[in-house]
Amino acid sequence: MTDAYTRFIRSAPGGALAKQLGLPRPARLLRRDDRPAPVLGPVVVLGDSAGADGIAQLLLHEGHDVRRRFEELRSVGSVILVLDEIASPADLGPLVLPLAGAMRSLAPGARVVTISRPAGDEDPARDAARGGVEGFLRSLAHEMRGGATANGLLVEDDVALEAPSVIGALRFFLSARSAFITGQFLTVSSAAGSATADRALPLAGRTALVTGAARGIGAAIARTLAADGARLVVLDVPGAGTELSRLANELRAVPIQLDVTAEGAGGRLVAALRERGLSLDAVVLNAGITRDKLLANMTADRWDPVLAVNITSQISLTDALIDAGDVLGEQPRVVSLASTSGIAGNRGQTNYAASKAGVIAFVDALAARLEPLDGTANAVAPGFIETEMTAKMPALTREIARRLNSLQQGGLPVDVAEAISFLASAEAGGIRGETLRVCGQNMVGR
C-alpha cells in the first residue's frame, strides 16, 4: 500500500525530480514477506566486552555471517553495538566511530542495534556515558537511508545479555518485522521469559484475544497472530458482526460480539471464555475510537465515549480477567494500543490523547499487578498508519503526517501487528510496562 506521491517518486522521472528539488524520497520498506531471513547479513558486532563476544558467538552458532570489524566488507546488513561496559563518555568514541566509515556501506533495509545499560543514579561518569547512548542512537536513526533503521536495547544491570528477552528483542529489531520502528528503545528489566521452540511459529500453542478485531489494525493484528501460530478469540461490537464472522471463518477463530463499554462486559467475556473452555495466554486491547474536536468545541458526547472505549474498557476487562482466576494462562501477556498522540499530544485530540496517555500509564501499573503471575503488560503506540480512518483526513494534513518521520512515509497495520506479536510471545517475558512506538521515528514527542 503506497500513496500517490510515493509511487511517483519511485518512478524514474519522479526520482530525478525529487533529487533535483530536495523532496522526500521514501524508500520501500522490506517487511516479512519481502525479506523472510531473520537476520540480514553480514552482521558486524562491535564492542570489546564479554557480552559482545557472547552475542557474536550466539549468532555464529545460528549460522549467520558474523564479523568483528568492517574491513573488506563492501556491504553490511546488520550492525550490533554492544556498549554494556562503558564507564565514561570517553569510552563511546572508540566503540561507535568505526561505524562512521561504514555508513555508506549499509545495505537497503539494514539494521543497527545498540545494547547498553540504563542510566541510574550511582556513578555520574558511567551514567553520563549510558545516557549518551540514547542521544547517539536517536540521532543516528535520523541519518539512516534506504529503509534502514536504528534501535536500542537497555538491559538492566542484573540481567545477562544472553537472557531470552534480550535475545528475543534483538532478533525482533534485526528482523524485517520491525520495518517501521526506528529511533526507539526497549528496556529489558527482568531475566524472565523463555526461548521460542519454533521461531517460525512463536505463538504456537498460545490462545490470544483481540478486541476491536473486525477491521483495520485489529484485523491485521488477528491475522498476524494467527500466522505466528496463535489460536484466536476475536471480539468486536455487535454492529461489526458480519465482518467479525468473516474474519473468524478466515482464521478459524472464536468470535465474540460484545460492547466493551457495556455494564458487566468483563463478566460476560469471562462467562463466554468459560463456556468454551478457553484460557487466554495473550490479551490484545485494541478497541478504540476517535471523536476529534478542538477543546473549545468539545462536549461530553464526544469526550465520554472516547475515554470509555480507549481506556476505561481496558481497565474493566483486565480486572475481570485477573479476578476470575481461571481464564488466564500461565505467564499471560497483555498488550494495549496506545498512540503517539498520547506522548506528544495532537491538535483537536484532547480526549483521544488523554485516553492514550492513560493507556501508557495503565500498562506500567498493570505490569506490576501481573508480575506475581509471571505476566507482562506493555503497549504499542502507532504513529501515522495507512488505514481507512487516516484516509479520511484532509489531503494536505495527511500528506504532511506521512512525511514527518525519519522513514518519510506512513506505516501499515501489519507494522503495528508485528510489534504486538513479539510482545505477546513467551520470549518477551522480561519486558514489562514498556510503550514501543511504531511510528518511523515521528519527529514530535520522543
Residue 315 belongs to a domain: yes
Domain boundary (157, 188, 219) is at 188
**In the predicted model, is pLDDT for residue 396 greater than 90?**
no
How long, in residues, is the chain?
A: 446
- Distance (Å, whole) CA 127 – CA 119: 5
Residue 285 shares a structural domain with residue 431:
yes
- Identify residue 123 by its one-letter amino acid code: D
**In the predicted model, is pLDDT for residue 122 greater than 90?**
no
Put residue 146 in one of left, alpha, beta given phi > 0 → left and psi -120 to 50 → alpha.
left
Q: What is the pLDDT of residues 11-26, one digit of tens each?
A: 888 778 777 777 778 8
Residue 117 shares a structural domain with residue 252:
no
Whether the Cβ atoms of residue 194 and residue 429 lie closer than 8 Å to each other: yes
The angle subtended at Cα 378 by Cα 194 and Cα 191, nearest 5°, is 30
- Report the domain count for the chain: 2
Residue 17 belongs to a domain: no
Phi, psi of 66 (to 5 degrees): -115, 135
At residue 403, the pLDDT reads 86
Residue 51 shares a structural domain with residue 166:
yes
**In the predicted model, is pLDDT for residue 371 greater than 70?**
yes
Residue 224 shares a structural domain with residue 161:
no
445: which 3 cell numbers? 514527542
Domain boundary (132, 153, 188) is at 188
Which of 86-100, 233-247, 332-346, 432-446 is the least confident region? 432-446
- Distance (Å, whole) CA 102 – CA 78: 11
291-303 average pLDDT score: 95
Give residue 349's domain range: 207-438
- Distance (Å, whole) CA 328 – CA 260: 18
Give the β-pairing of 149-155 and 185-188: parallel
At residue 400, the pLDDT reads 81
Residue 107 belongs to a domain: yes
Residue 261 shares a structural domain with residue 408:
yes
Domain boundary (137, 157, 188) is at 188
Q: Rounded to 10 degrees, what is the CA torsion of 206, 210, 216, 219? A: 40
Provide the 10 A C-beta neighbour count for residue 296.
5
Strand order in the sheet with 435-438: 254-257, 231-236, 207-211, 280-285, 328-337, 376-382, 435-438
Residue 357 belongs to a domain: yes
Residue 149 shares a structural domain with residue 230:
no
Residue 87 shares a structural domain with residue 219:
no
Residue 109 shares a structural domain with residue 252:
no
Residue 169 shares a structural domain with residue 214:
no
- Distance (Å, whole) CA 410 – CA 374: 35
Which of 269, 231, 283, 234 has its CA nearest to residue 420? 283
Residue 239 shares a structural domain with residue 166:
no
Q: Which DSSP symbol is given to 337?
A: E
- Identify residue 440 by its one-letter amino acid code: G
Residue 7 belongs to a domain: no
pLDDT bracket for residue 1 (50, 70, 90):
low
Q: Which residues, including other chains, have CB under 8 Å from residue 242's CB and lie 6 or more apart?
A: none
Catalytic residue among 5, 180, 185, 352: 352
Residue 195 belongs to a domain: no
pLDDT bracket for residue 195 (50, 70, 90):
confident
379 beta partners:
336, 435
The question of whether 5 is a catalytic residue gets the answer: no
Residue 349 shares a structural domain with residue 396:
yes
**In the predicted model, is pLDDT for residue 180 greater than 90?**
yes
Q: Which pTM value belongs to this model?
A: 0.94
Q: Which residues, including other chains, have CB under 8 Å from residue 378's CB and lie 6 or more apart?
A: 333, 334, 335, 336, 363, 367, 423, 428, 431, 432, 433, 434, 435, 436
Residue 20 belongs to a domain: no
Mean pLDDT of the chain: 94
- Distance (Å, whole) CA 98 – CA 299: 56
Residue 394 belongs to a domain: yes
CATH number at residue 336: 3.40.50.720
- Distance (Å, whole) CA 378 – CA 247: 25
At residue 390, the pLDDT reads 78
Residue 294 shares a structural domain with residue 423:
yes
